Amino acid sequence: MTVLHNIPTSISIALVSAIGIIASLLLAILPLHIVIAAMAIALTIQLAIRSPHVILTFLLVLSPLRTLIATESNLALPLDIGQILFVVYLGIWVIQHIYKRAKIQTVSFSILLQLLIGIVIIFGFNIWSSTSVSAWLTEWLKWCIITLFVWQIELQETKTWKWLIFAFLTSAVGNALIGIYIFFGGSGADHLVILGQFFRAFGTFGQPNPFGGFMGIALPVSIMCMYSQLVHIMGSIAKREKPANSSIIYLLVTSIATGILLAGLIASWSRGAWLGFGISSLVIAFAIPRKLSTSIVVASSTVFLIFALWLGGLIPQSIINRITTAATDFITIDEIRGVDITTVNYAVVERIAHWQAAINMAEAHPIIGVGLGNYEVVYEQYRLLNWTEPLGHAHNYYLNILAETGMIGFLAYSIFWIVVLWVTWRLRQHPDLFARSVGIGLLGSWTYIAVHSLFDNLYVNNLFLHIGLLLGILAVLNRQVWHTVTLE
């Protein structure tokens, strides 16, 4: 029963009448666009009271606007839009529980929650080695919010996670559409021109690589949602039964979403994103079959197919050139200080220079690092001669976390993701086809993050909120699998 259902009918009628009178007065004294905006906000609040998930959807869709608001808007917010919506979401959730006098269920601390709390504590002590406390606090709060997100999602009913999956995909598709618009000339920047007529897509991220990262994280989940519906329909056809209309609709929707996300990934023109998606696709192909022998055959066939397309000239030459030039530069550049910098190898040389700066930091502070979030702050002390711009991070998250938190933080971070991969692999035992498919999709997402993190930092522009959401869904599905195995 919702909150509004608990309000007496007479009070509801009075509230509606009052809203109508107020709306009429506002139309008489204020511009139309302001009234429409106010009514939209009021409608959002009403829907949010009925279900906090409305705010959660806004959170996922609007939080990547952080960079866009910071660079293009004069609006001064006390917090960024993602943090504001997250606080509103938690606040409405708490208010609803208090109003309905619903008892907040206690959640046994799952292994994911325990590890996340451990990371929060370890990164918390890292304040003592930080030159800038504000820079440390910004990064530390990200992990606090991820932990709260996982805890809160675990409190939800078991059916809620399916709704969250589609909310997540909606946010990714929305950003992909913006990226595709940019690719074809909308708001394109001159320095991002490719192929003489297009622009590297960056969505609302301001940069193509993290935008490609968002596409790469979402694609495995979207593909496996599509796969689950296809298997369900094919199963019905094999039994000579009519497929459910809902399955056909879901297949159509997820197919369109997958196509849009794939177009966004390509439009980002990010080699790290392409490599991450390629490897995550192989992992998905390996994980889908239940038998190891079948997994090996499927994965090998996928690799053979890719090479066949490559050798057969069926992959666009522009994409082949984009990949091969990066591979050649990484292999041939062995001494960064003496390399001749050209327009072709600049991006690779710049990235390697920042890797070296991170290594210098780690060598100087091997145990506790220079402080979480402090790479940019102390960069001047450890940079190479010709590279004065810190660029915010080391363009390799493993080196970045090693430099900022030392071996202690690096080991904590590594152990966390190793356990996440193990827990996700266990979801292949889930009895529900859709849940099992989503689990394999999550495995692809984690693989993607692991690969792309070799070249970039994906915890930017509030993308950590989406990662936290997926971790929360993983925690829910893991609990279901655990209960199933225990009952059996």
pLDDT, tens digit, 9 for 90 and up, residues 76-125: 666 777 888 788 788 777 777 676 665 655 556 789 999 999 999 999 99
Q: Quickly tell me which residue has 């279901």 as its tokens.
A: 480
In the predicted model, is pLDDT for residue 404 greater than 50? yes
Nearest to 208 by CA among 143, 161, 145, 271: 271
Q: Helix, strand, coil: what percent of the chain each, to 5?
A: 75, 0, 25
What is the longest distance spanned by two Cα atoms in the chain?
A: 80
Check if the beta carbon of residue 63 is closer than 8 Å to that of residue 85. yes
DSSP string, 230-250: HHHHHHHHHTT-PPPHHHHHH
Is residue 373 within 8 Å of residue 132, measured between CB atoms?
Answer: yes
- Average pLDDT of the chain? 82
What's the pTM value of the predicted model, to 2 decimals? 0.85
Can you tell me whether residue 269 is helix, strand or coil?
Answer: coil
Tens digit of each residue's pLDDT (9 = 90 or more) over 151-197: 888 876 556 788 889 889 999 999 999 999 999 987 667 778 887 78
Task: Report H helices in 315-462.
Answer: 317-332, 346-364, 375-382, 397-426, 433-452
3-class DSSP assignment, residue 63 = helix
Distance CA(170)–CA(260), nearest Å, equals: 11
Distance between CA 282 and CA 309 in Å, rounded? 15
Sign of CA dihedral 379, 382, 385, 386: negative
Q: Name the residue with tokens 């939080």.
A: 63
| 58 confidence band (pLDDT: 50, 70, 90) | confident
Helices (H) and strands (E) in the chain, counts: 18, 2
How is the chain split into domains, by residue range?
Answer: 1-50, 58-104
Q: Which residue has the tokens 């992990």?
A: 143
* pLDDT tens-place string over residues 23-52: 555 555 656 555 555 655 555 555 555 666
Instruction: Report the distance separating Cα 338 and Cα 229, nearest Å.
Output: 55
Cα→Cα distances 234→62, 238, 430, Å = 37, 6, 20
Q: How many residues does the chain have?
A: 488
Q: Is 219 helix (H, G, I), strand (E, B) or coil?
A: helix
| pLDDT band at residue 342 under the 50/70/90 scheme | low
Confidence category of residue 483, pLDDT binned at 50, 70, 90: low
Q: What is the pLDDT of residues 312-341, one digit of tens each?
A: 766 666 666 666 655 555 545 555 655 666
CA distance 324 to 56: 41
Q: What residues have CB less than 8 Å from 311, skipping those under 6 apart?
A: none
pLDDT > 80? residue 277: yes
Question: Which residues are CB-neighbours of 339 under 8 A, at least 6 positions away?
Answer: 333, 345, 349
